[in-house]
Structure 1
Amino acid sequence: MYVGETVNFTCKVTVSSGWTYQWYKDENELPDTSETISVFLGLSDKGSYSCRGIRGDVPTTTNSSEKTQQDVLEIPVPSLKKVTQWLDVFPTEGVELSCEMQSGSGWTYTWYKDKVEVQANNTVLFGLNRATLFINSTVSDKHNGLYECKGHLQDRTVKSISSSPLRLMVYDKKPDVILTQDPEYKVMFPGESVSFSCHINVSSGWEYLWFKDGSPLVGSESKYPINPVGATSGGSYTCRVKRGSNRNFTTDSSQALHLEVDEKKPKPLMTQQPDADKLYTGEPVSFECKVTISSGWTYHWYKDGASLLSDSSSFRIDNATLLNNGNYECKAIRSRTMFNTERSDGRTLLISEIPVPSLKKVTQWLDVFPTEGVKFSCEMPTSSDWTYTWYKDTKVQTNASMTYGQDKSTLTIHSASPSHRGNYSCSAKLKIRSVKTSRSSELRLDVYDTKPQVTLMQTPEHSLMHTEDEVSFSCHINVSSGWEFLWFKDGNKLHISELSHSIGSVTRANAGLYKCEARRGTEMVFNKTSQDLKLDIEERPQASITLLTGWGEAFSTDSLVFQCEVTDGQYTDWNYTWFREDKPINTSRSVKYKVTPSNDPDQSSYKCQGIRTGRPTYSKISTSHKTKNLLLKRRVLLSITGVLFFGIVFVLLGCIILKVTRKPAAPDEKPDEANLFLTMAQLKDCSDAPCPLVEYITDADVNPPPKEGDENGTICSETTPLPITSPEDKGNKV
């Protein structure tokens, strides 16, 4: 019996009458004495019931009746279950539910949807004792709701409470099927493994169908693994799902996933940031390793072949030092499949100390004058990618009187003043990176309070010069350097830019008014002009040479006498210098010079020059006199004279000999005519008389070489001694 039911117990003694009854439950007396008792059952009423009869004043009792065991149970809660494996359904699907009481039999069931009893119709059917509920394939959204059931015993008042509800969800369209890939690599390589999963986001009880490029594959699970991937594994994969005993519900196909298989092993591309061939200490630098094919890569890094502790796609050095120099490489690994790529091309990292900029003066001076310009340059030894900062006495310069060149690589002061005095330096910074240098060494700029003085000086300091004198002008400026000099004569610019202007041999044309100008700079010219210097030039006196030996003395002396004279009568007190073949003769400073065969055997050329202690100290050199030409003329005369003289002598001697030795002639013979004159051949062949032209005719022009075949080998030449006339014989002139 169940709680809530009523049970009647009756106790009856069949012998005689007048009996009352005593009731017992579990040996405990009950207060009721009637023949029949009714018990509204509760759980406490469970037990063993018995009774006995009592009669008379003196009670007579019967024996106790047999005991009746009464069980009392709680009314069970029905168990609502789904017979089909799903409670979320789709059009054309059917649903079956079952309701079951856990104890006893004879139960019938009542069904409720959303607390309203369900009645059978063309879409809803009940099974035996309404223990099952079936919604056929015309299910629609009107069947959505919470379903419950209750049980009750047939012909009894026992009714259960409602079962736990089940919610039925009816969708109005087919569910979506999602295909996923694990790992999600769009491109895979031989030897890797991959798995496709087919997902449906509602209900259960599904069976899976797999397709590649539209053709069915073997498999009915939610996953389709490929291990290992091969060259033929590439293609477009899809899936669908079905459920039901008759497979009467099938979803649409999932989206397609394309698997590409690349048989070539990839090679990572490694890049560097900043992308510079040379970096500097303190800079950050990072390398990026990237495989452009597919995804899912982790990375391994190497320096000079040794592995680095990093698996990121980038390798960063925040503060580079010289120890970071080396060759860097990377390779990629798929941690899901342990597939390795080739190593990337190596990249050499070159870290250098930050160079110090070089400060230079563009203008050639660092001591300047008011209004003069100054220009500095700041240079880095490596590239032109720098900008510069300027300092004067350690303070950054932003003075309006200064201008800067491109990237501030130059600093220009157009008009200097004492306020610009100081120590200048510069620093540099890379344009595209945060690299900063230390300051350069300093250059000291001094600015004078006054402008310089330019002085023109002449050496020697004579206002009057003579032709052939050497004169030199020098332009002096008292301070600084880097000067260029301009020269002017009579206001006309000369093509001279040196510190001095020298004239090695002045002429009358060099006379005039001279001055110089000192200047420096090309863009910012600073110049000062000297005083004027006047140069006067006179013609230098001319020396002349005279031969004192006349033609009348040609045959009476063996020497020649020259005399030197300076014709300009303005200057006196001359001494003289003699030159033989343009070389000074140190043995004589006399006005006269004597030439003899002993002191001039080669018959040279002679000049002379006047010298004195005052200015002019010397004269122009005379024209030359050659003793060779003079003596040649003399020798020719002597030769002619000698030939005539000896010719007459020989004629006279011949006449005397003929006179003495002549015999009378035969009648028929005619005497030979006397040859009164010797022929030149006869004279040439003479051997017993000296030739008259021997002593002075010695040069090759007058003395031809001897001829072969002469009869006696005797030749008359200039080497034959010539009789020298003594000075006492000068009176006997030819």
Structure 2
Amino acid sequence: MNALPGATVRVTPARSVFNGETVTLKCEIKDHNNWTYQWYKDKTKGFNTAHYIVNRDSLTINGVTESDQDKFSSGAVIDGRPRTSHSSSAVYLTVNALPKATVRVTPDRSVFIGETVTLKCEIDDQYRSLNWTYLWYKDTNGTSVFEGNIYTISSSSDQDEFWCRGERDGRPSSSQYSDHLNLSVKGSKPKPKLTSDTEGSVLTGNNVTLKCDIDHWSTGWKFYWYKHTQNTEKTTTETNSYTIHSVNVSDGGQYWCRAGRGQPDYYTDYSDELWINVTENLKPVVSVDPDKQLFRGETVTLRCDIQDTGDTEWTYIWTVKKTNNRNIITQCNTQECKINNTQQTESGKYTCRGKIREQNTEMSDAITLTVSSDKPQTVLSVSPQQWLTEGDSVTLMCEVINSSTGWIFSWFTVQSLSSVNEDVDYELVSNSSGGSKGIYTVSSVTVKHTGVYMCRAERGDPVYHTEYSNTKILWITGVSPSVSLIIRPNRSQHFSSESLSLSCEDHSKSTGWTVRRYTDKLKPCSSSDWRSSGTTSTCTIRPLNTSDTGVYWCQSESGEKLHPVNISVHNDVILDSPVHPVTEGDPLTLRCLYQYKNSSNLTAEFYKDGSVVQNQTTGDMMIIPTVSKSHEGFYYCKHPERGESPKSWISVRASQMKTRSFNVITFLLAVCPYLLATVVLVFKCYRLRVPRSSVEDQLQYAVREDETSI
């Protein structure tokens, strides 16, 4: 038995064709004639489309379209034997779109009269290398006006519609038409408008951006920038903006711009001139209220001041550098930056800068805020001393430890104490709201000023209080014209290994006055460890030790205490100054003494309240011929090699007070630990043992209690 003949379909020109081409499919069967051929599209027999033409063994498709893309097959029948053939294998016909032409325009489809416009016809990339002939068409009639891929229109004066396509020998034989390009031609030459992003003056160090705008904005322009004159060397940019970075004063002046494009260059007119004024930058100053040394829980206000400007539209940028050197921009954006309830985490270096119209000032110098975790402590001190005679002057000084500014100080006297819970009642004596800055002075004390004192400070809004200070007792005694405390040598500072004589001289020839002292305990002259000789009213200490530093006074048999003075014992350098106050109008002599004198090198500098009052190359003496109240203060001397002496308080009494038998005692040490010990001892007695009577009675009771233990 013979196999049925097979059918084969041949495609001309190819199985992959372009839209619009003519395609012929032919069915071939070997060794047989007189077949009747049958054609199938996707297994469907017969065709209803007019451009399908069947001619025996051929199928022709004229003007193929995408709808013709499908599977085609054929077969045949005959009246003899064999009666049918095998159907052919299916042939898939692919229909491709023609490549499309594109019109490129330079410089732009919107041009100005007099510009040269270049149109370029391009075919899709995969077909661009083929040998195309380009045809150009103009206006609605579709008239071909030019052949070639580049069409140049010189000195354009009208607007029209342009498109193109490509033709060639071979497949594909043509491209699709390009989209139509509408060429718009504007009237007169454009004039750009030059603006800047700043108004008014520009601060040095900031950036200025100029902008050159053209009406009926189009593409392809380069921009040219001119300074001072239009003939100067120009700066060129590809965009219509030009930024001058970190301007200097020399960058100020007149500026112009214009634009150009095309080949040959087509330029716009120049813009109007624009003045740029550059002035020196401003540096803000940061201030702080109440202080940069703060305590946990306080409120602090930082203020950023910008000088020499009338602008009121500033915004402010606050930055803080923490201990880890990280710069953090705070949430504050106003002139005053307020931090409530400060904590240690607010510690850091704070800076600010101002900003207006996108311009920044310089950065301010940093101010360092330090927030302590502790409650602020106050210290109360007394000058010249706590033991006073009626008519003397005394100053109570209140100081906040580790802080110095913004405080208002208040001084109180203790009214009563509870033995159960030790709560204290206070009576306000004075405050520093008038500007006394931590100093409360009583120019002429009386016995009624005797009492226990303490102080406290406050500042800020809301008010923030310190702890109450330590206590200080003021002991005021009446004037006794008949008794004097005589000291030999007559000074308050003494060298160790020397001798000291103290005596209570009663000019009324009465008896019973003895010399008392307090170093570590309250003792009379007759105590064995004084290393002294003589009667109880005259004591000589030989040799002196530094442990003999303390408070000395005269005391009667009835307990009356007069003329307490501080005696201090030192090594190397001391100041020889009077024990008792100097009367106004009298001379004052101060000497700088050295324990081991070198006669070839006796030089000294003398200081009052920390400032030099006499600087000399030779000599160890300073003389004030006529003393006045202004000479009152703390004095000390300094040797260039051996160092400085302790401080001594020089008190000056008014001249009308000379008739008084005894003058004000000189307080020689700025801080006397032995006097402090006395105050603490007496205050303890005051709190624990004594009924609430006068403070002077309580102090006398404390002294008598100590006497019983000697």
Is the TM value for this pair above 0.5? Answer: no
Greater share of strand residues, 1 or 2?
A: 2
> Please, what TM-score do these two structures have when normalized by structure 2?
0.39
Larger Rg over CA atoms: 1
The alignment's TM-score, normalised by the length of structure 1, stands at 0.38
The structure whose RCO (Cα within 8 Å, separation 6+) is larger is 2
